[in-house]
Structure 1
């Protein structure tokens, strides 16, 4: 479990074994929170704790063996194949001057299998569709064999079909593989349907956190986004469905 208090008196935990969605308006600190939890940024005040230990006490490779991060707008390092990209995820597990091992090969193959991209192994990443490319990046993170995966706006730039496909994959990794996931999501209804835990932010502060059914109300949505709405049950999933009414006149 990772947690961070900050100058804004922010104290948040990512619960083990859950799919956590971080929601809130643009500029409220969602991506900053995720980057701080992964140690890409350091809090001005306070600390980040990983499994009860100050994250700064871990070596960089040890952090990478515990936390996988899919950054926003990840850029492919040159013209490489899908398999070569996924293999980059093995870096934290490779000792200095050690050759590629069978366990590395197995991890890469397993990650591509889990994300359904084995048939794309020899294809250039640059030729993939948006959905395929996101799956390749997730496979790279899976190849790290971490227990925690952080994803910064993983559905951005994907059409609705690829968004649902990706969220179904993440939900499956959480339910069936036991991954602890935390993702920044902009679509409230997708967050409610696929996440088991929500963290709602506004202006760098937590407004609410908990299971979608427990915290998502019309009052909460208006408080966070200034948007009037009504909440009904999703007819398919039974989760909260936000129906906008428009802004106050």
Structure 2
């Protein structure tokens, strides 16, 4: 017979690093490559198309794409710069729309004749180069990560391969323990929290009356939340709704 271990004898699972700990670790990884700061953000696929041709059926409006959600900045100063850029400059800046293209990196044009507001904002913060670096992942079916890298140098001495490898390692650290924090579908408050709970229980096979009993709402309320989610996600039926929700990692 095997001896039964006491709780004290069992090896406890180590706690995942906090976002602040990861921030410091990423700084140690990225700053030696010639960058003075960065922010990382989860971006929905097709963000650029949605930004260029918005319509009522889309979950992310242009304004929603300019909000600082699902993001982590390297410092409080960089966080303030990001918020200033998104709230005051991004709408008029051609760089912002191009940075939503997740197919390839994009170096911001900070020519005052082309992007005067962006040039003024970044140069006022001693940033002379801004690089958007998307990191599509096969493990993410509906969104990807993107680093915005800030530099006080005109040219980066780091090779593309070295930078890509470092950023992929950084993204893996973030998503390994804090994946939900960078999911734009979860962090943008697109869905009612109660509706998500209804959806979770529906995915587990509960019927509407059972969901209503457990969540202390009416059966009509359950139907309302399910219908609202179907409309938002363009789902044909209950099964299709659950499938789409899994793709967006809503639960």
**TM-score normalized with structure 2 length:** 0.24
Q: Which structure ranks higher in relative contact order (CA pairs < 8 Å, sequence separation ≥ 6)?
A: 1
Which of the two has higher C-alpha Rg? 2
Which structure: greater helix fraction?
A: 2
Which structure: greater strand fraction?
A: 1
